[in-house]
Structure 1
Amino acid sequence: MKRVILIILDSLGVGEMHDSLSYGDKDCNTFANVIKNSKNIIIDNFKKLGIGNIKSLNLEPCENPMASIGVCNELSQGKDTITGHLEISGVVTKVPLKTFPNGFTKEIIDEFESKIGRKILGNCVASGTEIIERLGEEHIKTGKPIVYTSADSVFQIAAHEEVISIEELYNMCEIAREMLVGDNLIGRVIARPFVGEVGSFKRTSNRKDYAIDPPGKTMLDYLKEDNKDVISIGKIYDIFNGFGITEKIKTVSNLDGINKTIEVMKKDFNGLLFTNLVDFDMMYGHRNDVEGYANAISEFDSKIPELLENLNEDDLLILTADHGCDPTTQGTDHTREQIPLIVYGKKMKVVDLGVRNSFSDIGKTVLDLFNIKNDLHGVSFKNDILS
């Protein structure tokens, strides 16, 4: 094995887990509910791969799928981006990251305001697009940054790029990142810059995530130590705080991420190409935009043939997710869900991968394919798919 292409369809969960209710999630199934409630979704290429063999999607089963199909449960505590990606990479999070469902404490806000030299707006749980529409005008008049969170472990700071410079916004995030440790450990501090006029604000691609360092050695570290390429496309670099990455490529949209993935696939590399397509989650899941989510799925579906065409004979393609974000449920937060496992290689056997106990089976398998000994959690399915 020389190359693995691992693509995270961010938030494209495929149904409830046994403990979803304990996370406040009922009747969640991101992929199935988007299919059910969309008027124009196209998933013809997903169907050819065998997506219909995921029973929770309630599609016609595929008798001769192109890919091996399964689903993965999550062992980690949480339903956020960091937790999902860490588990995919072999690290199970036993203690959930801190959340602030009623906003941040007075002590945190007082310290933050003192250190940045400005008062803030917000300090509440909110959707990123909703809060800039609600508070954007006051922010422009006062210069106060907008601070908000969600059901996930995030401290988000929104600011208009003409009011607070990108440099100053990033500096505020660095201050918050240094503060939010110990008992107040937050998974990510996120810069959320936007532009535009009142009534037509738009978030920009200058978003930047300040994540915690991975709490243990991940698949990426093992690959890098073995002198393999670990190429990050999209927000993978930020999620892992740069650990284990040998090259990073920024993106501005799902389509840009897909096209850049294909560009790298046309080149010679030896190792892992790791892509995150965030628009599913950021643009559509969190905004309860079913048709937008359906269009994003259809867009990806249309690019699947090109992805397959650019696979070398010994390459492996893995399509999966990191959590759910069902746009048909109440609220705008992530949903605790199983993730799809779609595995394709031109020389690989097509098998039923079943229901896996952990996302970490993915990372374990990647390292197994490269014959890299490791101490990661998970059970490899390498022997199931090798001819």
Structure 2
Amino acid sequence: MPLTINRKVIIIVLDSVGVGALQDAHLYGDTHCNTLGNCSLAVEGLKMPHLGQMGLGLLTEIKGVPPVDNPTACYGIMAERSPGKDTTTGHWEIAGIILDRPFPLFPDGFPPEIIEPFKQRIGRDILGNKAASGTAIIEELGPLHMQTGYPIVYTSADSVFQIAAHEEVIPLAELYRMCQTARELLTGEYAVGRVIARPFVGSPGSFKRTANRHDYSIVPPRPTVLNLLRDHGFTVAAVGKINDIFAGQGISRSVHTSGNMDGVDKTLALMKENFSGLIFTNLVDFDQQYGHRNDPRGYAGALEEFDRRVPEILSALGPGDVLIITADHGCDPTTSSTDHSREYVPLLVTGQKIKKGVNLGTRKSFSDVAATVARLFQLSYDTGEEFASVITDA
């Protein structure tokens, strides 16, 4: 019976750490994007010895992370089959859902049939209603927001409806209610992937977004591998924004985080607990703090900071545990755009009973992870091509 399996599978998503443009990247304006490779060039080399030894330098050309002859992990790259390049699409595909059409985008802002009922239901006007950088729009409209009390509504190149508000002007509970209202309105042709609360603090000229962000995702259209595991009695622990991305579906436990290192700390704590199942972690700082802000030096620092924690993560693996390190899309900080980029993502897999140095090649879909996770728990998932049989004899 599956419940006799004493194993944890830990998926760590390095949010936006892409490794080169997909073949269809020209359709998204991302032909020359390579988040990891271009970042390494911009800062004159990266120091990531631990990920390098696992095989990271075999995935793309990374200055400072050369290829190794005997990688300690299985390695490869994955292509996204679903259209799009957003967080929800990427994570859903990792968990086994391949979309046949992208989530809707609103580059010119949201139409009156959404905005007018939204204003009516929250009882006040709004500011913005355009595509913009999150940090730029609060600098632009933050002072007026503080004067009027009107929330700032904006979107991006992703399928998102974002509401920014100063925590002293619109309390968090009220901001979250506004987001829930928007989520209820955004259905059918307007069903964006996520509604996002973007609280901030500070004064004009020195506004700062806080860790009290909250995402309200659309409910997945069908069960994922998370549901499969939970239905068979395994624990599914979500770290960071994973619970939000899946609208709580298939999640047993959820742990909020305040940044990458807190996410690693929370993941390590869960790895030491006594349960069998999946730990699904998102480390958001690469994307949120540095990719979207075109900050290659900050991005590089975050990569090196994570690399320094890799030995702790490896040491915490139990005899049957499996670690999968990957990403959900790119966000090349060296381009003129502040948007996500359509890229391949890394795939590094290791564990005490996992073979070393297996070349997993170029996977046709992120959903190969879902199929592999199911196989590792002696279950079967109907999407993706598993590689568990390639990396282990168990």
TM-score interval, smaller chain: over 0.9
Please give the residue correspondences for 1:287-306 in structure 2 after superposition, counting only pairs within 5 Å.
Answer: 287-306=293-312
Q: Following TM superposition, by how much is the alpha carbon of 1:46 offset from its aligned partner in structure 2, in angstroms?
A: 1.1
Matched positions, count: 386
User: Which of 232, 241, 259 is residue 235 of structure 1 equivalent to?
Assistant: 241
Q: Is the 2:8–2:271 Cα contact (8 Å) retained in structure 1? A: no
Deviations 1:17-46 (A, max 9, x none): 110010121200101111111146321111
Q: 1:373 is matched with which residue: 367, 380, 383?
A: 380
Is 2:330 the counterpart of 1:324?
A: yes
Q: Which residue in 2 is equivalent to 1:273?
A: 279
Counterpart CA distance in 1 for 2:215 and 2:74 is 33
| Structure 2: distance between partners of 1:56 and 1:15 | 9
Asked if residue 172 in structure 1 is aligned to residue 178 in structure 2, the reply is yes
- 1:154 paired residue among 139, 155, 160: 160
1:216 paired to 2:222: yes
In structure 1, distance between residues paired with 2:112 and 2:29: 26
Structure-2 residue corresponding to 1:43: 48
CA shift, 1:104, in A, is 1.1
Find the counterpart in structure 2 of residue 354 from structure 1.
Answer: 361
Give the letter aligned to residue 80 of structure 1.
D
Which sections of structure 2, spanning at least 5 residues, go unmatched?
none
Q: Secondary structure at the match of 1:368?
A: helix
- 1:315 — aligned with what? 321
User: Which blocks of at least 5 consecutive residues in structure 1 are unaligned?
Assistant: none
Shift of 1:309: 0.6
The DSSP-based 3-state class of the residue aligned with 1:347 is coil
1:261-300 CA distance string (max 9 Å, x none): 1111122110001100011111111111111111100100
Query: In the alignment, what sits opposite 2:288?
Result: 282
Q: Which amino acid aligns with 1:24?
A: G
Describe how 1:21-170 pairs up with structure 2 within 5 A.
21-39=26-44, 41-57=46-62, 60-170=66-176
Query: 4+ residue runs of structure 1 moved beyond 3 angstroms?
Result: 55-59
Q: 2:187 aligns with which of 181, 189, 193?
A: 181
Q: Contact between 1:28 and 1:337, CA under 8 Å: does it hold in 2?
A: yes
What is the aligned counterpart of 2:262 among 234, 256, 260? 256
In 2, Cα distance between equivalents of 1:252 and 1:294:
19
| Contact persistence 1:15–1:56 (CA under 8 A) | no
Q: Which residue of 2 aligns with 1:225?
A: 231
The aligned amino acid for 2:52 is K
Secondary structure of the structure 1 residue equivalent to 2:11: strand
3-state SS, counterpart of residue 55 of structure 1: coil
2:15 maps to amino acid: D
CA distance in 1, matches of 2:126, 2:388: 51
What is the TM-score when the length of structure 2 is the normalising length?
Answer: 0.96
CA displacement, residues 68-123 of structure 1 (integer Å, 9 cap, x when unaligned):
10000010011001100010011101111010011111332222112211111111
AA at the equivalent of 2:101: V
Distance in 2 between residues matched to 1:291 and 1:56, nearest whole Å: 18
What SS does structure 2 have at the residue aligned with 1:256? helix
User: Does the Cα contact within 8 Å between 2:226 and 2:250 map onto a contact in 1?
Assistant: yes
2 CA distance for matches of 1:308 and 1:255?
15
